[in-house]
């Protein structure tokens, strides 16, 4: 039971790690409702390159057929879609809405952490929200920033910084399941949060959770969220993700969710501290680049600049372009800046 929630309260559950994280966020939102609370589901709309080769998240202005618009959010249904680079893109949030027959909020990322916070505040005002939970599948938001296997930290840290500003909770679901940082490393980072009294609790998937996740994944495309379902059904061992560019260890731990105090995490994650008051996604990216951190936005731009089409993308190509981009960034910024000492 999520004992840190007030009974009969309204909980905003936000998928912060990428478009596909909305599947696991939906599962957690459903569990919260079984505990006697009302849930509101939200997400960012940053789709994988194979679905949307235009670099960066979907802009709110690009979303067609929303149910409602705010200054820093839109509400989507199963009939909502986006026009990106002349093609129709169906955000995972819209696919989740179709699967669950419920509206899903999409939060603006282009206005940086400040805009993200305002979006969450707008939703809080509209829905009467009492608690905010950000869902990160895999747990990369816990990274310090120096990890070699960290592929996509920008969305995670922007989301973490935003929910920490609202004294929110980070739900790390299925540690290591996105094939970036290892399961054991994520657990070591959870331990650091726990040492600072930042661990609120841990839950395990039930059959009801698995049913909700399975239902959602019939529509939503998310390799990371699917890992926990596979783990719950008994799969064990290594699993290839992202066209062979990464591998994930699937264990019983893959079925767990760790609830952590977001402000405590930010104390341990210097990159998230540095971007806390950014007013644009570009400003946040620039700060991370200056720390020597190559982001998913950099990778998407490199892919697009090289003219790589989604159907041409292979795991080997992804790895090669990422390594080339990281090398260029390293030479440009002198990655090992003596002023940056990760916790």
Question: Total structural domains in the chain?
Answer: 1
What are the residues whose beta carbons fall under 8 Å from the beta carbon of 327, sequence distance 6 or more?
none
Measure the CA angle with vertex 150, ends 63 and 181; round to 5°: 110
Q: What is the pLDDT of residue 335?
A: 46
Q: Which domain holds residue 108?
A: 10-333
- By C-alpha distance, which of 248, 244, 246 is closest to 236? 248
pLDDT, mean over the chain: 94
Instruction: Flag whether 342 is in a domain.
Output: no
Cβ–Cβ under 8 Å, residues 136 and 25: no
Instruction: Flag whether 157 is in a domain.
Output: yes
- Secondary structure E strands in the chain: 10-15, 38-43, 63-64, 68-69, 73-76, 81-84, 87-89, 104-107, 131-137, 169-173, 199-204, 237-241, 246-250, 256-261
Q: What is the pLDDT of residue 338?
A: 43
CA distance linking residue 108 with residue 44, whole number of Å: 7
CA distance linking residue 205 with residue 213, whole number of Å: 10
Ranges 37-41, 176-180, 201-205: which has the least confidence: 176-180
- Residue whose tokens read 């720390």: 291
Q: What is the pLDDT of residue 6?
A: 86
Instruction: Flag whether 239 is in a domain.
Output: yes
Cβ–Cβ under 8 Å, residues 27 and 69: no
Q: How many helices (H) and strands (E) does the chain have?
A: 12, 14
* pLDDT tens digits, 47-95: 999 999 999 999 999 999 999 999 999 999 999 999 999 999 999 999 9
pTM value is 0.94
Instruction: Flag whether 1 is in a domain.
Output: no
Cα-only R_g, the chain: 18
Instruction: Flag whether 148 is in a domain.
Output: yes
Instruction: Flag whether 60 is in a domain.
Output: yes
How far CA 77 is from CA of 21, 47, 122, 134, 225, in Å, comes to: 17, 17, 19, 21, 21
Instruction: Flag whether 339 is in a domain.
Output: no
* pLDDT tens digits, 255-274: 999 999 999 999 999 999 99
* pLDDT tens digits, 14-45: 999 888 999 999 999 999 999 999 999 999 99
Neighbouring CB atoms inside 10 A of 250's CB total: 22
Instruction: Flag whether 309 is in a domain.
Output: yes
Q: What is the pLDDT of residue 166?
A: 98
Percent of the chain's residues with pLDDT above 70: 97
């Amino acid at each position: 039971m999520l004992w840190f929630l007030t009974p009969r309260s309204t909980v905003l559950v936000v998928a912060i790690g990428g478009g596909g994280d909305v599947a696991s966020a939906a599962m957690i939102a459903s569990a919260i409702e079984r505990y006697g609370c009302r849930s509101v589901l939200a997400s960012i709309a940053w789709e994988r390159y194979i679905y949307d080769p235009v670099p960066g998240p979907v802009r709110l202005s690009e979303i067609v057929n929303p149910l409602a618009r705010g200054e820093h959010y839109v509400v989507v249904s199963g009939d909502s879609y986006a026009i990106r680079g002349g093609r129709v893109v169906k955000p995972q949030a819209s696919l989740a809405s179709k699967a669950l027959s419920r509206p899903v909020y999409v939060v603006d990322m282009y206005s940086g952490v400040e805009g993200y916070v305002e979006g969450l505040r707008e939703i809080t005002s509209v829905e009467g929200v009492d608690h905010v939970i950000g869902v990160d599948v895999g747990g990369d938001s816990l990274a310090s920033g120096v990890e070699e296997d960290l592929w996509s930290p920008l969305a995670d840290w922007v989301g973490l910084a935003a929910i920490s500003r609202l004294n929110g909770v980070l739900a790390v679901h299925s540690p290591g399941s996105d094939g970036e940082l290892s399961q054991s490393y994520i657990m070591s980072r959870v331990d650091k949060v726990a040492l600072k009294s930042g661990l609120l609790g841990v839950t395990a998937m039930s059959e009801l959770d698995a049913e909700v996740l399975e239902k959602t994944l019939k529509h939503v495309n998310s390799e990371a969220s699917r890992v926990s379902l596979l783990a719950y059904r008994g799969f064990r061992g290594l699993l290839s993700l992202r066209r062979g560019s990464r591998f994930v260890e699937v264990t019983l731990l893959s079925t767990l969710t760790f609830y952590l105090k977001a402000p405590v995490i930010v104390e341990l994650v210097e990159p998230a501290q540095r971007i806390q008051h950014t007013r644009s996604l570009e400003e946040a990216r620039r700060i991370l680049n200056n720390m020597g951190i190559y982001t998913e936005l950099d990778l998407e731009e490199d892919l697009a600049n090289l003219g790589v089409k989604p159907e041409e993308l292979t795991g080997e190509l992804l790895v090669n372009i990422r390594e080339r981009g990281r090398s260029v960034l390293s030479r440009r910024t002198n990655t090992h800046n003596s002023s940056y000492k990760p916790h």
